[in-house]
Amino acid sequence: MNRLAMIEEIKGWIYEAGNHIKASFAKDNLKVDTKSGRTDLVTDMDKATQDFLIGKIMTFDPDAKVLGEENGLDHLKDGTGRVFIIDPIDGTMNFVLEQENFCIMLAVYEEGQGVLGFVYNVMKDEFLYGGPETGVFCNDQKVMPPENKALSEGLVGMNHVMFQKNAWHTQEIGQIAMGVRMTGCAGYELIDLALGRRVAYISRLAPWDYAPGGVLIKALGLEMSTIEGKALGLEKRDAFLAGTKKAYEECLRLANS
């Protein structure tokens, strides 16, 4: 199956998963638990959505590996072959408390390289997908690389805890930018970065948070790394930085000054 056919296949899974999530709002039986602390939420819908997507993946490619946020799949023994990386509901707190501003995200890696990314803002019905070979699309419209704006020319997405504690000089970075936005959803922020609505994004992210959007922004010529400028792997949570080339370089310099 070629890349374009694979994109259409995976889009169908994600749209179907989104419909299941929207239908769940009509039911008053959402089960909410915590993981590492009171603000680290997980719901039965997170787990059900991941299970649904894994079922689709295993039917499509029984030999594939899966790295997912839930159900004990958050570590890979190795990244060889084809790996699907899933964040079933990115922005679970928003999902629970707002019923908006959350995304379904999926990446396809082959031999350690990101080849396809999918980020679906379910309630806004804004779907970015594609990769380096196919280009990037938003709801079937080709996305062009955003303008290479400097930090002072745009908005920066931020993790609120990092900003409150001024970790990595994030407050100084925010003062130079036109403003700071804190949505609590990596997918939302990476869509905005890809579409030129942000010039940079700084947060602390796990691989399933950055891999899907990361494939897309890299295909559009944007930069991403750890906030120290090191390459991102798929092993652990990292302080994450992405942006236009100009804003990325400025944030990297300020964060490490």
Nearest Cα residue to 17 out of 95, 105, 98 = 105
- Per the CB < 8 A criterion, the answer to whether 106 and 10 are in contact is yes
Looking at residue 247, its pLDDT comes to: 98
Looking at residue 75, its pLDDT comes to: 87
In 89-127, which positions are buried (b, 16+ CB within 10 angstroms) versus exposed (e)?
A: bbbbbbbbeeeebbbbbbbbbeeeebbbbbbbbbbeebb
Distance CA 255, CA 170 (A): 7
Structure tokens belonging to residue 71: 């159900």
Looking at residue 192, its pLDDT comes to: 98
Class of domain 151-255: alpha beta
* CATH code reported for the domain at 3-142: 3.30.540.10
Looking at residue 40, its pLDDT comes to: 83
- Per the CB < 8 A criterion, the answer to whether 113 and 195 are in contact is no
User: In this structure, are strands 179-181 and 155-158 parallel, antiparallel, or unpaired?
Assistant: parallel
Half-sphere exposure for 241 (CA within 13 Å, toward CB): 26
What pTM does this model have?
A: 0.95
Question: Where are the domain boundaries for CATH 3.40.190.80 in the chain?
Answer: 151-255
Looking at residue 201, its pLDDT comes to: 98
**Phi and psi dihedrals of 89, rounded to 5?**
-140, 100
Distance CA 55, CA 88 (A): 13
39 CB-near residues (< 8 Å, 6+ apart): 93
Looking at residue 95, its pLDDT comes to: 94
Distance CA 129, CA 117 (A): 5
Question: Where are the domain boundaries for CATH 3.30.540.10 in the chain?
Answer: 3-142
Looking at residue 73, its pLDDT comes to: 82
Distance CA 66, CA 245 (A): 31
pLDDT (tens, 9 = 90+) of the chain, 257 residues, equals 799 999 999 999 999 999 999 998 887 778 888 888 888 888 899 999 999 999 999 999 999 999 998 888 888 888 889 999 999 999 999 999 999 999 999 999 999 999 999 999 999 999 999 999 999 999 999 999 999 999 999 999 999 999 999 999 999 999 999 999 999 999 999 999 999 999 999 999 999 999 999 999 999 999 999 999 999 988 889 999 999 999 999 999 999 99
Distance CA 194, CA 219 (A): 9
